[in-house]
Structure 1
Amino acid sequence: MKQNRGLANFYWKTYIVSVSFIFITIVATSLIFRAIIKDSYYGSLERELKTEALLLSQVFSETQKPDIIRWWKLEGKSRITIININGDVQLDTHYNPFKMKNQLTMPEVSQAVRDRWGKSIRWSEYIGLKMFFVAGYFEYDDKPPMIIRLGIPIYVIDRTINKTTSTVVLGGVIIFIIVSLFSFFMIREVTYPIMKIADSIRSFSNGNLSIRIPNFRSNDLNLVSYELNRMIDSITKGKEELSLIKDQTIKILSSMHEGIILVDRKSVIKEINKSAKEIFGYQSRNLVGKNLFSLIVSRELKEGVESIIKGRNTVSGVVSIKVPDERRIEFTCTPFGSRTGVVIVLYDITKISKLENIRKEFVANVSHELKTPITSVKGFVETLTTMDGFDDPLAKKFLYIIQKNILRMENIIEDLLVLSKIESGAIDLPEEIISINDCINNAITVIRQKYNARNIISSGMEYGFMVRGNPRLLELAIINLIDNAVKYSNDDVNVLLDGDYRRVIVSITDRGIGIPPSDLEKIFESFYRVDKARSREMGGTGLGLTIVKKIVEAHKGLVKVYSTIDRGSIFKIELPRFIEY
């Protein structure tokens, strides 16, 4: 009902506006026409009075017959006044000329004396009427000059003009009625389809997907109707597809082990799947529409969401919550749409964290437990090889093999202990400002002592770069990379120091055997070897690059590798630069 009333109001508003415009146009036209008629009539009357004055001047130049004056007055003609050059009234058809004062002060008379003709509209004190006067100055041979003035009452003129105007107004009224009726039907003809289209669109927007716009008499409106129906069909089809996609998405989200939460810019939950509810301990509650951080107290997660809203593309982190047992939750925040919201992906890593802690403890304990017997065995072997009278070549060969493997086991245990300390946080990373140049020089010195015959070339050392961190650990990382470069290359090893205003880059380049592309992503995994046979021959533990990566990441840096088979490899350590302002 409200819709129909609104559409009817539209029709009547259109009609009233149209009729008002027509009315104003007709009134304005009538006023303009009246002004034109008035000007035209006064002009015509002035010419008529001038003609009469001229004729009268010719008559009175010959003789002054009282019969003419009486006839003129009886016929209801205009008022005639004859004035001499001195301004004295000689004759007047409506008043006693002897009682009239000098007329040279009258505007029409003074103008006629000056310009031959004069006119004015003024109040006549002698007959008590407002008059339109036309005066002419005439001069004939052997006759004294005279001024003939003719006057007509303004009410007579207005009566004539009003009569004409009444005819115009009557015509305007008739035209207004005809045009108003015509507009009534024309506007109805035009607005009905518009109202019908608006009604159909409103019905469609309210959920009536079966509504279609009918055809009309106008071909143009039928084209609009056809295109709108096509649009409705397209929207209906798209809505059905979106509904299907939404159902599929809900099913997929519900079946995912990862928790998914969609929040808007105010952190209000728009969507949340079953796994996310279980992670936070709200299995049976409807959380849509609630503020996320009224349910979960987590500074890290809140900062992550705010960072995405402010412009970051991805924020990751780990939070600890109690629901009721303590859980470790890894989260990733990414923007949704044009940053109208944030998608939060949650991973419950509680079990993985526990297993990782068990693994670290196991590695640390086993390493410590193995170190003592390995040291004892090493001591016994060294004792046997230096004993007097122990000259059996076969026994010495076996002792050498034992000693070599003990040394390898010692290296593995040492690396495991270092790795365990880094992962457990047992090694401090003090906020100490250190020179990366010194770390590189110390690492090169260690490698040169180990491999006397190899040449290690350093460049870029003339520039001093400072970083925050643990110098012993950074030296260990650089030593491991240079050691690998020397082991797997028969040529010189280059160490390049470079950087910019925010980074320090240490590059170690060799021209060795290279690393296959399929192994590049795996070389930083524990105990992974590209060439297992050669690694064992070189005494590698498979933990060197893992330690490098852990040390660099602990210093908030990155380690990268670029390699080509048979051409060599480049390992790069990137660390945040410290600049003192």
Structure 2
Amino acid sequence: MRITTKINLLTTAWMLCIMILINMVVYFLFMKSTVNMEEDLQYQKAGDIIKDIQSLSPSNSNINRELKDYLTAHSYIRILQPQNKVTHEATNDSLLSKKIKGKYVETKQAQTHLLSLKNGEEEVLIVRVPINSGTSVNESLEIGEQLIGLETRKEILRAILGFSTILAALLSLLGGRWLANIIMRPISSMIKTMEEIEKSGVPKTITIQNKTKDELQTLAKTFNRMIHRLQESMEKQKQFVSDASHELKTPLTVIKSYANFLRRHGLQDKQMADEAIEAIHSEATRIQKMTETFLDIANLEKENVLEINKLDLVSLCKGIFKQLKDAYHREITLHYEKYPIVIHADELKIKQVIIILLDNAMKYSKDKIDVFIEKNEQYAIVQVRDYGIGIPSDEINNIFERFYRVDKARSRETGGSGLGLHIAKSIVKLHKGEIKISSKEGSGTKVELFLPLH
């Protein structure tokens, strides 16, 4: 079943339930108010009758004559004594008076009966009122009156309510269809766009015609943002393949050139042969490292590669510095006030980030390198400062992009691929942290890692 049909049927069913409930309330209130009005009139009439008969002599003829004066169409009036004994009665509808038995009461009562009379079923109102004689009650007055036209009015009311319900259901069907079409318009557009994307393989956005600022517009905007991100991801993927191909092209060309040289000249010229073999080995090693870096990037994009454990940053940095000092003989100074500074992170990944930052600092600086470790209420902060060539201000926003290198002329000399900072930022992002770089050309660079404590 289509969603529009479901919306239409549900809104109509809900409308019918509401109308039925309202009709019941209206019908009940109509009957209640009508009967209450008649009861008030009958109680008033009973009070007048009691006053009149109490002022008369107790002869039957006088009382019966007085009762007849208060009769209305299809009614009766009785005076009863205890044990339901009728002492006086006046009626103009013998059938009505026969069907209803008299009842002696000591308190006011009012009730209705539905009786089958000459003109069909009719509602009859009966009012009973005690007659006080001094401090005692010896008699009661009973008035029965046919509520002429009440059944007709009830039928008319039921017809009106039924017609209103049917009309409301029809209007609800039409309104529900119109509403469903409005609701489904952007969804239908989205489905159509998805089908076009499925057929063509080209991401497309939804055209938002009416800015209604509702959930449907939010849905369409979210879909468009998703498509934009998908397009950006595809563009980055294409760019990555293009950049990777470009990066691999140079070492492969060198390897091929020296391989052709060896194939043509063999090993006769030992010096040239050694040079060729060394170049081939060097470029093959470079390709191997680059391939490993590509694999690191691919694994990071899975976003499920972290092994979270407790990690002391101070101890980790001490171990890294010892290895780098022994390998590169560079001065690296660690500064910290508190020990230990513990976070929950993947030790190998955080170690990789710090090595990348130190490696960049050593490549582009000949002076000492300072590393500061501190923490606040939310983050552990690692700062790596060098005092080298720095980064131009217009380049800082680009340095986290893949294959981007500030000093492109030195890329061969330093051996950089332009992927280190991209990997570092991806790792920090996986840890829900942040990496910031500030630099001044000619004065050095400061890199700050913000890693959540928890």
- With the length of structure 2 as denominator, give the TM-score of the two structures: 0.46
Higher relative contact order (CA 8 A, sep 6+): 2
- With the length of structure 1 as denominator, give the TM-score of the two structures: 0.37
Which has the higher Rg, Structure 1 or Structure 2?
Answer: 1
